[in-house]
Structure 1
Amino acid sequence: MSLLTTGLLLVLLLFLLLLLGVYVGLALLLVGLAGLALFTTAPPGPNVATALWTSTSSWSLAALPLFVWMGEILYRSRLAQELFQGLAPLLGRLPGGLLHMNVVASALFAAVIGSSAATTATVGRFTLPELLRQGYPKALALGSLAGAGTLGFMIPPSIVMIVYGVMAEVSVARLFMAGVVPGLLLTLLFMLTVALLAHRHRKALPRGPSPASREALKGLLSVLPVLFLILLVLGSIYLGVATPTEAAAIGVAGAFLLTVLRREFGLELFRESLLGAVRTTSMIGLILAGAGVLTLAMGFTGIPRALATWAVEAGITPIALVLFLSLVYILLGWFLDGISIVVLTISVILPVVKAIGLDPLWFGVYLVLMVELAQITPPVGFNLFVLQSLSGEDLFRIARYSLPFMGVLLLMVALLVAFPGLATWLPRTMTGG
């Protein structure tokens, strides 16, 4: 049987299992088992055991539950509400007013939560009711939050970057730094989009008094504890003082300290945040375990190696590959969540990426952008589900509201292709990592 036929059969089996409602991690594991048993001579038993252990025992993965726990702690605090009150006097002066709150608050929480859906939920709990109460158009409020919530995967610490780094054997610390400049630029592009949309719908926006300078200064001071925690975590990684795992532990301690200083710490917060972190980490661990088995099966069948050889011999250019992969990832975003997209494709795509000379570090940032796009692509965009639960609005209508921000993400992909230094410059300046 040809490699093309083998690959198509495995893909069809995977989608059949997903359509039947099988968990993504189990579906990946079953497809990997089928690949080993039916299309290779390798004994499945010992090879699967080795793959399960190898895919879940990497030291870099130790940072994952800690960063998730840090996000769970802050998600359950009143920090988002106080940030809204503190940032409102600052952002109220900008074109678009408090709509910028969705973007700025998402960028800040992205730097302490690491998850797109969790960032959207945390910010949306407080911004949406207030924006709608003050009379901001629902389309602008929901669309800007859907788009801005995707920053949770680009601005470090990022769960997707940890997963990619482990699977692609790329330094997680350098991946984090690679996401800083694109994350900040994406934040500015989102704010510019909000300002342009606000100008277009300026007659529908509420008009309020300009905040006093004293209120703006007070708002700035309220943001300082979060900024300090962000700089503490990312600064320790950048300077080589701490590994991502050690920085994550510092982040958990800092998050607990913030709750203590704000008199929010209690047994209930500790228990709920810990259980939330365990649930999320277990879900990701199952997906990684299944992906490890599938990766092993792909290696034995020789499909990734054959694709890499074909790409080199066919003279595929990096730009042509990026264009093709962008279409593939957009299609996958219709059916799969971000982490599943990464673990499903990386074992097949990465050998091709390396063969034609693309930097795996740069490709990690590109892949995160495509995963961000999947977060707001119906019918399974996670951010859309979060906003649907918060607002009761129709999911496809929310997707329509977020179309301008999908365009911004595609523009960012183009900028990243044109200026790869956006992703690779800061990691080159790191001390260690």
Structure 2
Amino acid sequence: MSPATIGLLGIAGLFLLLALRTPVAFAMLFVGFFGLWGLEGLRTAGAVLVTESYSSVTAESLVVIPMFILLGNISSAAGFSRGLYDAAYAWVGRFRGGLASASVLGCAAFSAVSGSSVATAVTLGKVALPEMRRLGYADSLATGAIAAGGTLGFLIPPSTGFVLYAILTEQSIGRLFMAGILPGLLLVVLFIAVVWFVAWRDPAAGPAGEALSLRQKIAHLGQAGPLLAVIVLSIGGIYVGAFTPVEASGIGAALVILLALIKRQLSMDSFRKALLDTLKTTAMLYMIVIGANVLNPFFAVTHIPTILGEGLQSLGLGPYGSLIVIILAYVVMGMFMDGLAMLVVSIPIVFPIILQHGFDPIWFGVVAVIVIEMGMITPPVGLNVFVVRGVAGDVPLSTIFRGVFPFLLAMIVALLLIIAFPDIALVLPNSMFD
């Protein structure tokens, strides 16, 4: 049996294990280890398992994962997310669909703290959904705005998706963080445009809220100011070169803990729970990195990426035709797979093809993350939809999927703009590092 055949069987086995709900980390470990055993022998497979496990967990760049996760967990436990939402509502709440627009802005701000789409959707969902339902918002608009806004956690730095992409492709975490800022802001603008359009077509779906005075607006902004300052300091510090992403993560986490203690908004039980949640999430992500680093050598030995690249070239589609095929494959996978699973399983296969066609790897990281974001709100899996369903309680899944559809169109528009104008993603990292 040829290495390529074994590689294809390995890919089929990987998807079978994922379909059987095997944790993605262990599915990759299983396929990578036993695939290498079959091709190179037990000694090589064992050596790869040991060396990759050690090098993965001792990599300094991975420190950003627990630190930024801790930052988000502490912010949530201390109730800072409520302040972000209130500040956003104070400024845009008086417009039609203002609460939904505030939810999108709150999601964007909390994304810059948590780096997680699920955490963003859960946290803002608990804060915003009761308020929108109290004011008579349509369930579809209310839940759709939260589900779509939550996906920003996968794009706006510090994004866990970018960290994993950087590790899998050996790219700069700092450059990827900078590359996600303008596309993230573009998506925020498009999401708010969707909210306003829906509220314009059906004013009853998103009634205007109370108009606040300038003094009240400034007061709400002041309450959210300390956390916003931490966000600006962490991300802005990376941009100006004051410190590395690893240093920024540690500084941000320390400042949020200090802020919570000063404001006396963090009990010992809440702090302990935030630490435990951070440890659980970090362990899961570290295992995914280990699994991916064991699977990658198996794919390299089977030459699957090279074969697929040559196959795409033989079709004569050209660089952008091949890119469209890859994006469509992502869209299909996104209907059935979790975003992180998609990323770690697909990147070792498609990344060599991207380089072969001359695309910028930082730019493609943004494209891949946006397409994976789309998968978070598309049926039948749509992880963020199920998360919001759990928060919303009695709202049917069909209503939430109907609500996210216009936001999905906005994501397609953003994706097309970034493909047509790559500088949207590249201008910040290029100005920072060149």
The verdict on a shared fold, with TM-score over 0.5 as the criterion, is yes
- What whole-Å deviation, never above 9, does each CA across 1:132-176 have from its counterpart, x for those lacking one? 011111111001111111111111011110010011010000100
Q: Say whether the 8 Å CA contact 1:316–1:356 is kept in structure 2.
A: no
User: Match for residue 36 of structure 1?
Assistant: 36
Which digits, 9 at most, give the CA deviation of each residue in 1:37-57, with x for residues without a partner? 334457322122223233433
What is the 5 A alignment of 1:357-372? Answer: 357-372=358-373
Q: Which stretch has the larger CA shift, 49-58 or 263-272?
A: 49-58
SS at match of 1:430: helix
2:95 is paired with a residue whose SS is coil
Which stretch has the larger CA shift, 207-216 or 56-65?
Answer: 207-216
- Deviations, residues 377-422 of structure 1 (Å, cap 9, x unaligned): 2333221121111012233432222111111111111011100001
Whether the aligned pair in 1 keeps the contact of 2:137 and 2:206 (CA below 8 Å) is: yes
Give, as a single letter, the amino acid of the residue that structure 2 aligns with 1:80.
Answer: S
- 5+ residue gaps in structure 2? none
Q: Cα 1:314–1:58, aligned 2, differ >3 Å: closer, same or farther?
A: farther
1:336 is displaced (CA, Å) by 1.7
Q: Which amino acid aligns with 2:288?
A: I
Q: Which amino acid aligns with 2:246?
A: T
Equivalents in 1 of 2:333, 2:433: separation in Å? Answer: 37
Q: How does 1:279-298 map to 2 (within 5 A)?
A: 279-298=280-299
Farther-moved stretch of structure 1 (216-225 vs 385-394): 216-225
In 2: Cα distance, 1:36 partner to 1:4 partner: 13
Instruction: Check conservation: 2:3, 2:301, Cα contact below 8 A.
Output: no
Tell me how far apart the structure 2 counterparts of residues 109 and 192 of structure 1 sit (CA, whole Å): 20
Cα distance in 2 between the residues matched to 1:22 and 1:277: 22
Q: What corresponds to 1:330 in structure 2?
A: 331
Moved more, 367-376 or 302-311: 302-311
What TM-score comes out, normalization by structure 1 length?
0.95
After superposition, the CA RMSD in angstroms is 1.8
Q: Distance in 1 between matches of 2:80 and 2:338?
A: 28
Larger displacement relative to structure 2 (350-359 or 72-81): 72-81
Q: Distance in 1 between matches of 2:210 and 2:363?
A: 45
Residue 58 of structure 2 corresponds to residue 57 of structure 1? yes
Q: CA deviation at 1:292?
A: 1.1
Tell me the distance in 1 between the aligned counterparts of 2:11 and 2:82: 45
CA distance in structure 2 between the aligned counterparts of 1:340 and 1:118, rounded to whole angstroms: 17
Q: Please report the TM-score for the alignment, with normalisation by the length of structure 2.
A: 0.95
Q: Which residue of 1 aligns with 2:271?
A: 270
Can you give the 5+ residue segments of structure 1 that lack an aligned partner in the other structure? none
Residue 14 (structure 1) aligned with residue 14 (structure 2): yes
Contact 2:94 2:210 (C-alpha < 8 Å) held by counterparts: no
Q: Partner of 2:26 in structure 1?
A: 26
Aligned residues between the structures:
432
- Indicate if the aligned counterparts of 2:100 and 2:206 stay in contact, CA closer than 8 A: no
2:96, 2:277 → 1: CA distance? 38
Distance, in Å, in 2 between the alignment partners of 1:408 and 1:86 is 25
After the TM superposition, which segments of 4 or more aligned residues of structure 1 sit over 6 Å from their partners? none
Which AA in structure 2 matches 1:9? L
Letter in 2 for 1:33: F
Is the CA contact 1:233–1:250 (under 8 Å) kept in the aligned structure 2?
A: yes
Residue in 2 aligned with 1:95? 96
The question of 1:407 aligning with 2:409 is answered yes
Question: What corresponds to 2:432 in structure 1?
Answer: 430
**CA distance in 1: counterparts of 2:339 and 2:153, whole angstroms:** 12
Distance 2:215 2:63 in 1: 44
Deviation by residue 1:277-305 (Cα, 9 ceiling, x = unmatched): 11001111111111111111111112123
Would you say the 8 A contact 1:54–1:292 is kept in 2?
no
Indicate the residue corresponding to 1:238 in structure 2: 239
2-structure distance, mates of 1:62, 1:263: 27
**Distance in 2 separating the partners of 1:396 and 1:345:** 29
Equivalent position amino acid for 2:20 in 1: L
Q: What amino acid does structure 1 have at the position aligned with 2:276?
A: L
Q: Distance in 1 between matches of 2:307 and 2:136?
A: 57
Other structure's SS at 1:357 match: coil
Report if the CA contact (8 A) 1:51-1:296 is conserved: no
Contact 1:378 1:395 in 2 (8 A): no
Structure 1 residue 312 displacement after superposition: 4.8
> 1 CA distance for matches of 2:308 and 2:82?
50
Shift of 1:376: 1.1
Structure 1's 33 and 424: CA in aligned 2 closer, same or farther, altered over 3 A? same
Where does residue 182 of structure 1 map in the other structure? 183
Q: What is the 5 A alignment of 1:23-172?
A: 23-40=23-40, 43-172=44-173
Distance 2:209 2:156 in 1: 32
